[in-house]
């Protein structure tokens, strides 16, 4: 990151750097050019600048001259054997001088080709006219890159100017600072929650992933996926009704149904698709149906209701009085669906599930509950907030798939969830009655006409659900870490949007400042947290959304709090006390705020009887439940055969990026070592 900081210091001097976001510069700087492998994408762009292009040409010439004495084969052949370098071209890489000379020559050649707009070693490109790819906003190119009138006419198609339309729409995003930048972040299985950027040597701490429990690298999940991959291959082979209906898909759906104690479940390629397809189908099939939708519902739910063509009535967020007033305007016999969420992911609020079920029964409505940000994280088995509201009853029932009459989860008609967040996999699902699920299976285009997910993904998701049903420790430790971070932020006057869930949203209140705060944390503190801007949140409520996992240790939490405090001071971002002086925003700094009661009680976390899991310290590995691993393995005996592990445990998961064969061989050893 040090070199990148040096580049960004020249933003004021260079028009291109000045108008380009730091995150874009970072992406260009860390990504290799596909046409010129020895150059970064940023260097390739710089060759088109009349200032930097000349400087790069001059510098590459100097580099070649510096290594010229060893650049030729004759000189290379004179290298003495006592340096253990044999005189052959194949051994050039063993000599630091010769290898650098070759690299310098290669870079100089590619710089020259990039400047001319030619692809390396491509006769067709050499014969073609060089393309003018001037960096946008550079005044030096204002005249040189402007096409003549005849060229402009030749490049503009007759009729509608589609490219200009695209450019105009993108410019709107840039102007209101809502343009989305995607960072190259590669989470490392052996170093969770550490990831590397486009450069594998450039490591950062990830503080915004939705892999809430770190199940994406849980050893029994990886082991199961490898076994399935070796047995059934990669792809599913088709849609569910053609060739993609495997035993792994059916077993996963049975696992999901059991999790929510519902008769049936159906798996989709994502929960966005599950919500969209299910709500669209319900609205199309139920005659005269009316949706009652929380104003803060996820885009997938909104899109599904729109696709249905049914009437949609919006009620204020978590406002039971507003919802009841609107329900009362329609006859009880009119088909109705109340669509809402358990945990709202951008503010951390929790829906009043029990009370909405009461209203639904009173006014003849179905309940559609999205538990996407709650499954795996709440309840004694991880079934979500609906299960958590009757914690002791579900704990006593153990792993019985039968419904518990009168409980909140049993009263909810339709539950949707994801496999791609707390379960660390991919996919989404619905759970409900047999006939409801069968109707969606039979009519929903989003389910019928898409290739089903690979068996290995289904196996990994099922293993993850099974493991979390048996082990409560990850959920408890996550909540303990969340409390720790929120407490540290509160002491530093960092404006956390108050909420009872695991979400830690920090209010920034300005889109450009939110992006700059994200970039500064990454560039100066190696902390990756993505800025959240409109339309995900309302304008003026832009924020950083932190997600803490059980894999984050105390030292990392301490460093994060210090880094955020430093960035707030450096950038002059408003703190809680500042928002309070302005009357508050997004429930931050409000006068007489309502007390926030966490969903997880102290007793449920084990804080009252001394059974709470301990926070990790640097160098400590997460706890892996031996019982949960054993039970999970046994569930796959019918399809994969009994698990046969190594004679002796070898080592934990690798900390570097090894070969595929090394990973495959080490998975069983990792489980054995972790559960020892």
Task: Write out the DSSP string of 171-231.
Answer: HHHHHTT--------EE-TTTTTEEE-SSTT-EEEE-S-S-TT-GGG-HHHHHHHHHHHHH
pLDDT at position 37: 74
CA dihedral 192, 193, 194, 198 (to 10 degrees): 100
* Whether 113 contacts 119, CB under 8 Å: yes
According to DSSP H, which parts of 422-553 are helical?
434-443, 445-448, 455-470, 473-491, 511-525
Integer Cα distance of 152 and 132 in angstroms:
13
Which sign does the torsion angle of CA 494, 496, 502, 503 carry?
Answer: negative
- Residue 185: which of 174, 198, 202 has the closest Cα? 198
Q: Which of 569, 600, 563, 294 is nearest to 475 (CA)?
A: 600
Q: At what angle do helices 271-285 and 434-443 cross, to 10 degrees?
A: 100
Strand partners, 206: 528
292 Cβ partners below 8 Å, 6+ apart?
Answer: 313, 315, 323, 326, 327, 336, 337, 338, 339, 365
Task: Please tell me the distance from the alpha carbon of residue 246 to that of residue 232, in angstroms, as a whole number.
Answer: 10
Q: What is the mean pLDDT of each run of 10 residues along the chain (676 residues)?
A: 56 70 70 75 78 69 50 44 46 52 66 64 42 44 47 61 93 86 90 93 95 96 97 95 96 98 98 98 97 97 97 98 98 97 95 98 98 98 98 98 98 98 98 98 96 97 98 98 98 97 97 95 96 91 97 98 98 97 95 93 97 96 95 97 64 40 44 51
| Strand stretches in 371-445, DSSP E | 414-418, 428-432
> 421 an active-site residue?
yes
**Measured distance CA(411)–CA(258) in Å, rounded:** 16
Closest CA relative to residue 293, chosen from 240, 337, 249: 337
> What are the distances in angstroms from CA 27 to CA 11, 183, 197, 382?
16, 7, 9, 37
Secondary element (H or E) of residue 621: none
Rounded to two decimals, the pTM is: 0.76
d(CA 528, CA 521): 7
In contact, 274 and 416? CB cutoff 8 Å: yes
**DSSP codes of every residue in 251-291:** HHHHHHHHHTT-SEEEEES-HHHHHHHHHHHHHHHSTT-EE
Per annotation, catalytic residue among 118, 191, 262, 421: 421
The pLDDT, as a whole number, for residue 9 is 58
- Show the tokens assigned to 553: 């240790």
């Amino acid at each position: 990151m040090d070199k990148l900081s040096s580049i960004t210091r020249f933003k004021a001097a260079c028009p291109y750097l000045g108008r380009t976001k730091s995150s874009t510069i970072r992406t260009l700087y860390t990504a290799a050019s596909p046409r010129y492998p020895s150059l970064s994408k940023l260097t390739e762009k710089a060759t088109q600048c009349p200032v930097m292009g000349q400087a790069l040409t001059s510098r590459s010439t100097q580099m070649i001259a510096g290594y010229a004495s060893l650049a030729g084969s004759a000189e290379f052949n004179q290298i003495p054997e006592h340096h253990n370098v044999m005189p052959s071209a194949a051994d050039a890489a063993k000599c630091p001088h010769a290898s650098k000379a070759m690299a310098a020559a290669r870079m100089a050649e590619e710089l020259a080709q990039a400047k001319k707009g030619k692809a390396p070693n491509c006769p067709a490109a050499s014969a073609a006219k060089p393309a003018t790819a001037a960096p946008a906003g550079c005044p030096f190119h204002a005249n040189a890159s402007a096409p003549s009138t005849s060229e402009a006419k030749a490049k503009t198609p007759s009729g509608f100017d589609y490219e200009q339309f695209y450019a105009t729409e993108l410019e709107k995003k840039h102007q209101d600072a809502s343009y989305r930048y995607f960072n190259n972040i590669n989470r490392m299985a052996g170093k969770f929650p550490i990831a590397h950027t486009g450069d594998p040597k450039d490591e950062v701490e990830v503080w915004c992933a939705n892999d809430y429990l770190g199940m994406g690298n849980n050893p029994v999940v990886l082991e199961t996926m490898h076994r399935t991959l070796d047995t059934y291959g990669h792809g599913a082979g088709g849609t569910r009704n053609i060739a993609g209906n495997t035993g792994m898909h059916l077993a996963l759906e049975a696992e999901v149904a059991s999790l929510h104690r519902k008769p049936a479940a159906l798996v989709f390629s994502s929960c966005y698709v599950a919500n969209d397809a299910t709500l669209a189908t319900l609205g199309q099939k139920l005659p005269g149906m009316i949706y009652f939708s929380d104003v803060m519902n996820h885009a997938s739910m909104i899109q599904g209701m729109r696709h249905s063509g049914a009437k949609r009535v919006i009620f204020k967020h978590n406002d039971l009085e507003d919802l009841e007033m609107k329900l009362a305007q329609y006859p009880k016999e009119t088909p109705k669906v109340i669509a809402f969420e358990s945990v709202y992911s951008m503010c951390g609020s929790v829906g009043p599930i029990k009370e909405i079920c009461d209203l639904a029964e009173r006014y003849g409505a179905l309940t559609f509950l999205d538990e996407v940000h709650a499954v795996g994280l709440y309840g004694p088995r991880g079934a979500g907030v609906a299960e958590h509201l009757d914690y002791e009853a579900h704990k006593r029932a153990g792993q019985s798939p039968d419904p518990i009459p009168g409980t909140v989860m049993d009263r909810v008609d339709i539950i949707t969830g994801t496999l791609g967040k707390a379960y660390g996999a991919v996919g989404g699902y619905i759970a409900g009655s047999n006939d409801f699920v069968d109707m969606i299976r039979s009519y929903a285009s989003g389910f019928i006409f898409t290739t089903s997910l690979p068996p290995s993904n289904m196996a990994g998701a099922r293993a993850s659900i099974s493991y979390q049903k048996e082990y409560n420790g990850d959920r408890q430790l996550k909540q303990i870490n969340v409390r720790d971070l929120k407490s540290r932020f509160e002491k530093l006057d960092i404006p956390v949007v108050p909420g009872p869930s695991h979400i830690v949203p920090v209010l920034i209140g300005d889109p450009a400042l939110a992006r700059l705060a994200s970039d500064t944390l990454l560039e100066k503190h190696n902390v990756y947290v993505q800025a959240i801007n409109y339309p995900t949140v309302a304008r003026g409520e832009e924020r950083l959304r932190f997600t803490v996992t059980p894999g984050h240790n105390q030292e990392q939490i301490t460093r994060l709090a210090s880094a955020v405090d430093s960035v707030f001071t450096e950038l002059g971002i408003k703190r809680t006390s500042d928002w309070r002086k302005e009357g508050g925003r997004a429930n931050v700094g409000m006068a007489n705020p309502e007390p926030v009661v966490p969903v997880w009680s102290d007793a449920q976390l084990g804080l009252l009887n001394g059974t709470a899991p301990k926070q990790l310290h640097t160098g400590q590995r997460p706890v892996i439940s031996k019982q949960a691993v054993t039970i999970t393995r046994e569930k796959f005996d019918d399809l994969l055969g009994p698990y046969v592990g190594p004679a002796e445990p070898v080592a934990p998961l690798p900390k570097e990026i090894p070969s595929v064969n090394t990973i495959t061989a080490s998975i069983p050893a990792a489980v054995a070592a972790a559960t020892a």
